[in-house]
Structure 1
Amino acid sequence: MRKEARFLKANDQARSAIKQFLEAPDNELDGIIRSIRQNGNTLSNPLCKGIRFLLRMQEWVNGLLMRCGRLLAIKRMATTFKKKQH
């Protein structure tokens, strides 16, 4: 029972550590953790490539969201400016 509790705690800690730099559903993170454990605690080449792809996609989405946020802020400022002029 203690061994299982330690395993689950370690799995939760690993998942939390991965979430610091990669947003993904828990089941996908668990798959990454399981793959690393099965590969002697190292990243396999396919997994490494997959993680790089996910990180690039996440960076692209975050950049897109930032640009959209800036556009919305500019639009709000323009609307506020127009209202003040009337």
Structure 2
Amino acid sequence: MPRFVVDVMPKPEILDPQGKAVLGALPRLGFEGVTEVRQGKRFELEVEGESSEALLEQVRAMAETLLSNPVIEDFEVHAQSDEAAE
């Protein structure tokens, strides 16, 4: 069964309070040198059928209509190989 990964991130011009909170906490935990943190979402979908360009387009449509808010978020869709899933 094909597996697809959808990575969703806030657009660069959108404030990211969760990323800012992580950025502020890292030095307090002893981690230095990080200059920016952006927090996003990752979805892994297993879809019935054979992996194809049509199936990839269907997952892109899912990402655009449900998994992301296109007004404030960007997304990328990738087909995940069997080796990467293990």
TM-score normalised over the length of structure 1: 0.23
TM-score normalised over the length of structure 2: 0.23
More strand by share: 2
More helix by share: 1
For the pair shown, which has the larger CA radius of gyration, 1 or 2?
A: 1
Highest relative contact order (Cα 8 Å, sep 6+), 1 or 2? 2
